[in-house]
Amino acid sequence: MKDLGNYRKSYEKSELLETQIPEDPINLFHRWFYEAEDLDAADEVNAMTVSTIGLDGFPKSRVVLLKKFNEEGFIFYTNYNSEKGKAISNNPNVCLSFFWPGVERQVIIKGIAEKTQENISDNYFASRPDGSKLGAIVSPQSEVIPNREFLENNLKKLEKEWEGKEIHRPAHWGGFLVRPIEMEFWQGRPNRLHDRIRFKLQDNYEWKIDRLSP
């Protein structure tokens, strides 16, 4: 067994103080997201971990790409018949997390997921390259398949079938909007005394701000 006890890093790049934060966590997320992008803090700044409670009762996490965020929440796209799609349909309580190592920051978001309006899914699907469109159609996401050739052969068939035609979004594919109810911002600090600021949505739709001990 490899001992990782000596893997240590001192976090010293920034700080997160109450005097520096807005009243709305989306504004702080906006600032952090574009700072991470400008500073090339990760290979894909919009990569996030989505955690769900599966139909088997176990939590499961996977990395997907954030495609839009605004005051309503955070949008990503998937196959609604996939494992994550079925899990969200059964239990819409999800957690999103971002880690930007180049700026020593994390954001953890608890929220309620719901399907986006069909026109939003249609518009995003239309913006994708044809290969990605066909990939969404050909892949029975999360299902057992016999081999790699199964996908590649079906893709070739679809390429011929849709050649020169407009590729429409399949009904089983679309977006989820995650409406946040809690957002935690983590800034690495020296001596493991990290800054943790939590925004928690109240019944009056205002955000309660607390500092958490690291």
Each residue's pLDDT tens digit, 125-170:
999 999 999 988 888 788 877 898 988 888 888 888 888 889 999 9
Question: What does the block give as tokens for 61?
Answer: 């996490």
Check pLDDT > 80 for residue 85: yes
pTM for the structure as a whole: 0.91
- Pick the catalytic residue from 189, 192, 196, 211: 192
Residue 101 — pLDDT band, cuts 50, 70, 90? Answer: very high
| pLDDT, mean of residues 22-29 | 97
Check pLDDT > 90 for residue 72: yes
Domain map of the chain by residue range?
A: 18-128+175-212
CA distance 170 to 156: 18
Task: Give the architecture-level CATH label for domain 18-128+175-212.
Answer: Roll (2.30)
Contact present, 169 and 125 (Cβ < 8 Å): yes
What is the pLDDT, as a whole number, of residue 144? 74
CA distance 26 to 96: 14
What is the pLDDT, as a whole number, of residue 9? 77
Q: Is-catalytic flag, 196?
A: no
Q: What residues contact 186, with CB distance under 8 A and at least 6 apart?
A: 105, 106, 107, 108, 194, 195, 196
